Chain A
Amino acid sequence: NAGVTQTPKFQVLKTGQSMTLQCAQDMNHEYMSWYRQDPGMGLRLIHYSVGAGITDQGEVPNGYNVSRSTTEDFPLRLLSAAPSQTSVYFCASSIGTPNREQYFGPGTRLTVT
């Protein structure tokens, strides 16, 4: 099993550009989530999904869109990049219950200039 994979590993965008961060898992997990990590802030939840076709907002959803058309994939779209979106982005998946541990991908480091 590859677990949770993310592409790209690094990305530099100019303000106003759009892009999609890819996330895939091969563990047949129903739950998938996107987090961002900023210095001194821990990880903050952006969006999450409880199954194909079902998504919901997390703590910091503004400027991001998600969709979940398959169990395996959960892409994160930046509509118009801003310097405030410079961060490290992590995708995670889990079975949800009874054990709620989430398994994380290696991350995407995004810089917006």
Chain B
Amino acid sequence: DQQVKQNSPSLSVQEGRISILNCDYTNSMFDYFLWYKKYPAEGPTFLISISSIKDKNEDGRFTVFLNKSAKHLSLHIVPSQPGDSAVYFCAASAGGGTSYGKLTFGQGTILTVHP
């Protein structure tokens, strides 16, 4: 049972436009959400996170929105740059005790930004 889902395997965007990556989750115990970026042959790198007590978190060109009632989050990249081309993973965490060591990942979305 996939608890975190990224239903779009790929997204293609023109340089300078907005990229919107989506993620849905089913586990109500998740209270912290993260986005990671991954280039080929490298490990994932942390981008931005959001706690369930917030509905928006912004860091430069990256903004994450959380809709708890819909169990949905999205990552907005504005403006998109060719260097943003990578695989983006959504991840979720359920807090408390040993659970801090566990992240549940979505399948990933391949973002391609065309010059």
Contact = CB atoms under 8 A, between A and B. Distances in A.
Interface residues of B, number: 28
B106 A42 contact: yes
A72 to B, nearest CB: 16
Interface stretch (B38-46, B58-66, B74-82): B38-46
Contact of A106 (B42, B93, B103): B42
Interface residues of A, number: 32
Interface in A71-97: 90, 92, 94, 96-97
Contacts of B36: 104
B42 A96 contact: no
Interface of A: 4, 31-33, 35, 40-45, 48-50, 54, 56, 58-59, 90, 92, 94, 96-97, 99-107
